[in-house]
Structure 1
Amino acid sequence: MITRIPLRTLVTSVVSRSGYSARRNFKTTAQTIPQAHYNVVFDIDGVLIKGKKVLPQTHRALGLLQSNNVPYIFLTNGGGLKETEKAEQLSKRMGIHISPDQLILSHSPMRELALKYEDSNVLVVGGNGSGCRHVAEHYGFKHIVTPEEVHAVFPSVCPSSAREARSVPLAEKYLQNVHRPVEAIMVFHDSVDWGRDLQVVIDALTSRGGYLNTIKTQKELHITPQTVPLYFSNSDLVWSNEHPTPRFAQGTFRTCLERIFEDMTGHRLKYTLYGKPMTTTYQYAEAVLNRIAPTHLGPDGMPKRRSVYAIGDNPYADIAGANGYGWNSLLVKTGVFQPEGDENHHTHPATAVVEDVEDAVRWIISREIRKEHPF
C-alpha cells in the first residue's frame, strides 16, 4: 500500500520561528539541539535542482533539516568535476554552504581504482573539455588520455564528429599517452560527442594490445573479443532537466556501445558499474555518513542502528539502490518519475511517494517524531 503525504501540516515548520539562515551548519545548530540519530541522503537533479533552476522547495527542506540538526549528504549520479568544484558550484547555486565531505559524485568511488591503475595508461571518457581528466589526476591516475586528445592527434579517427579536432600542438603534452597502449577505459561522465567517443572506445576495446589505430582479426576477436577492462560511473538511462521529458544519460551511451560491440565481435561487452544503484556506491556513502555523523550508542553501550532516508526521483537508480541497501526510500514527482495519479512505482516501490523534497523531509521528521513519542 502506498504511503501518502496528506498535507504539509504533518510537521510544524520551524524555519520561520528559528530564524534559520541557510549558511548555518551542523556545528552551530548542535550547540542547542542534539544531533539527530537519523540521516538524509539527497539526490540532486530532479529533487533539489531541475536544469539550471533550484526548486523552490529546496531551501525549506534543507532549513527543516538544519533546524532539527539532522545530518545529510548528497549522493548523485552526476559528475564531471572534482568534488571540491561541484560543492562550490552547488553552494553558489543553492545559497547554502555545502562541504565536499557531504558530496558523493558518480565517480567518487572510482577513486579506489587509482591504486590498481596508478601506472597504467587510462582512457578517460565524458564531460566537457579537460574536466574529467582533472578529476582522474586528482584521484591519483598518472597516465591519462581522452577521446578529445586522440581526435586531436588523429583527426581521421572520427571525420563525422560535430566537434572540430584541436590542432596537434594543443595536445603535444599528451602525445606520448595517445601512442601508449590503453590499459583501462573509464567513463567518468556523460559523453558530449557520442559519435567520437563511441568510435574511440570501440577502437580501444577491439585493438591489439590496447594500441589505438590497430584492430584484431576476426579470428582474434572471436577468441579474445575485449582487449581492455571497461568501467562506467553510473547506469542511468535518462535524467531530468528543464525539458518536459527525460533526456538520455550515460546508461543510454552504454547501451549503444554494447550493441555496437556485440554486432562487431559476436560477444557481449563486459564492464563494471559504479554509481546508483550499485552496492559499492552505497557502501561508500555509508562510510561518508559515518565520518560526518558518528553512530549513537544505545543504553547497552552498543551502536544504535542508523535510520537512513534516501530521497530521489529515479526509481531505477535512487529507489532501487536505497531499497537494496536497506535504507528507507522516498520518491518525488519533480523529476524522472511522473506517475499518472498517486501510484507507486511498479518495479521499485518506494517507502513513500511524495510531491517534492519538502514533503519528503516533513514525512521523515514526522515519522521519527512518532518513533520517539508513539501515541
Structure 2
Amino acid sequence: MYSSLSNSFLQLSVLPSFGFLFDIDGVLVRGKTPIPAAKTAFQKLVNSQGQFVVPVVFVTNAGNCLRQEKADQLSQLLGVPISQDQVVMSHSPLRMFKRYHDKCVLVSGQGPLLDIAQDLGFCQPITIETLREKHPLLDVVDHDRRPNVLSPSAAELPKIEAVVLFGEPVRWETNLQLIIDVLLTSGYPGNPYHCENYPHIPVLACNMDLMWVAEAQSPRDNLMTDVYGANLYNRCLEENSRQGSKSWVQAKVAGGRGPATLSQDEEIDNSWENELASAAAAHCRSVLVCTGVYNPHTEVPLDTRASIAETVFHGHRDFRFEPGLVEPDHIVPDVDAAVDLVFQLENFAPY
C-alpha cells in the first residue's frame, strides 16, 4: 500500500509511519448519503492538490461491482480523488488464489460477475445463467423460468474446478441447486457418471468481516465484525513480529512439516503468504465510531455483552469467540474525531 501511494507524499517533510483503513457504511456514508463528518475528515487527509497526506484504504463487504466503480462512487461522495488501488472489496482476496485463475470456475452472486471475475484474474469464469442454458434440466426448482422447449447448447463446458461465491445470489434456490450438482459430480454438472461419494470441488467464498488486511489505525463501526476482525488481525501482526520475518512457508519447510522443496502448486498456493508478509503493518488499532450500528447510549456491562455476543458470533468455525476482541482501542463520536485522535496519537501535522 505504501509503495502505490508514495508519490502523494513526496512534498511532505516527514513521511507518515501510519495509515488509515476505513470501513465505509456507517463510517463514511449512510446508503448513498455521505456523513457530514466524513467530508470534514477527508479535507484533513489531502493537501491543496488533492493528494493524500497519509496512506488511506477503503474496505467494504460489498462485492457486486468492480473496484473502479466503488472508487468513483467514493470520489463523488467524499469530494476527493480515490483510485481503485485504494479500495478493498469482499472479493479482493481472491486475487491471491492464482492456482485457480487459469481454470474453469463457476461464479455466483450479483452484479457484473464475469467482469469482476476477469478483473481478479480468472480466465475461464462461467455464471449460473450459462450453466442453466447448457443444462436446463438441472434447474428443477424455478418452474416459472423453465423453458417450454429444452434445447441445450451442443457445446460442452469444460470441467468446473472451483466454485466462487461473490455474495448473495438473486435466486437462492436455483443457485444452490446448480452449485450442489457441480459439487456432487466433481465438476461435471448433469453427468451422473462422475458422481462421487463426497464433493471435493473447492468453494472460494468472499467474507470481509475477518479479512486479514489492515494498516495501522482502523475506524470501524461494528463490534462483532469490524472491531473483532481488526483486533484479531492486530494479534496476528504481533505474533508475526515475535516470530521474526520468516514466512509461514519458510517455517513449514524449516520445521520439517513439509518437503525440502515446495511443488509448483504449493508455491502458487502459498505465494500470497510471502506477498502479505513483505508489506505487513506492525499494528492494527481499532477505532470505533458512533455513526453506524453502534449506539453508546445502549451500552451493556462487559460480562453481559460478552454473553450476548458469544451466542450470535458469526466468525469462522475455526475461531473461538473471545470477549476481549470486541473491545475497541478507542471510541469516538465520528470519523472526523477519529482522524483528529490518530493525528494526535501519532504526533502528526501534515502542514
TM-score, normalization by structure 1: 0.62
Note the aligned Cα RMSD (angstroms): 3.4
Q: 1:183 to 1:217 in 2, by over 3 A?
A: closer
Task: Identify the residue that residue 186 of structure 1 maps to in structure 2.
Answer: 164
* Aligned mate of 1:40, from 1, 15, 20: 20
- Taking only the aligned residue pairs, the percentage that are identical comes to 32
Corresponding residue of 2:220: 312
Corresponding residue for residue 195 of structure 1: 173
Which residue number in structure 2 is paired with residue 328 of structure 1? 285
The corresponding residue for 1:356 is 334
Name the CA shift for 1:165/1:75 in 2 (closer, same or farther; >3 Å): farther
* Counterpart position of 1:117: 100
Is 1:233 the counterpart of 2:206 in the alignment?
A: yes
> 1:228: how far off?
0.4
Task: Choose the corresponding residue for 2:187, options 200, 203, 210.
Answer: 210
* 3-state SS in 2 of match to 1:77: coil
Q: Which amino acid aligns with 2:177?
A: Q
Where does residue 145 of structure 1 map in the other structure?
126
Which residue identity lines up with residue 182 of structure 2 in the other structure? A
What is the CA distance between 1:58 and its match in structure 2? 1.2
Distance 2:129 2:233 in 1: 37
Distance 1:213 1:63, change over 3 A: same
Kindly state the Cα deviation for residue 162 of structure 1 after the two structures are TM-superposed.
Answer: 9.5
Q: Is the 8 A contact 2:9 2:54 kept in 1?
A: no
Q: Name the residue aligned to 1:256.
A: none
Q: How does 1:143-292 map to 2 (within 5 A)?
A: 143-158=124-139, 160-161=141-142, 164=145, 176=155, 179-207=157-185, 209-214=186-191, 220-221=196-197, 225-234=198-207, 275-279=208-212, 282=213, 285=214
After the TM superposition, which residues 75-114 of structure 1 pair with which residues of structure 2 at under 5 Å, given as runs? 75-113=59-97
More moved, 341-350 vs 68-77: 341-350
Tell me the matched-pair count.
Answer: 270
Cα 1:150–1:64 change in 2 (3 A) is: same
Distance 2:14 2:148 in 1: 59
| Secondary structure of 2:125's aligned partner | strand
Match 2:31 to one of 48, 51, 58: 51
For the Cα contact (< 8 Å) 2:287–2:331, is it kept in 1? yes
In structure 2, distance between residues paired with 1:355 and 1:315: 15
- Give the C-alpha shift of residue 213 in structure 1: 2.0
How far is 1:64 from its partner?
2.1
CA shift for structure 1 position 184:
0.4
Distance 2:102 2:181 in 1: 21
- Other structure's SS at 1:38 match: coil
Residue 338 to residue 206, structure 1, CA distance change in 2 (3 Å): farther
Equivalent residue of 1:41, what SS?
Answer: strand
Equivalent-residue separation in structure 1 for 2:62 and 2:133 (angstroms): 27
Question: Do the aligned partners of 1:76 and 1:104 also contact (CA within 8 Å) in 2?
Answer: yes
Q: What TM-score comes out, normalization by structure 2 length?
A: 0.66
Given the superposition, is the C-alpha separation of residues 167 and 27 from structure 1 closer, same or farther in structure 2, using an over 3 Å criterion? farther
Deviates more, 1:154-163 or 1:87-96: 154-163
Tell me the distance in 1 between the aligned counterparts of 2:189 and 2:114: 19
Aligned counterpart, 1:270: none
CA distance in 1 between counterparts of 2:38 and 2:222 reads: 17
Unaligned 5+ runs, structure 1: 1-24, 235-274, 287-307
Partners of 2:200 and 2:11 in 1: CA distance? 57
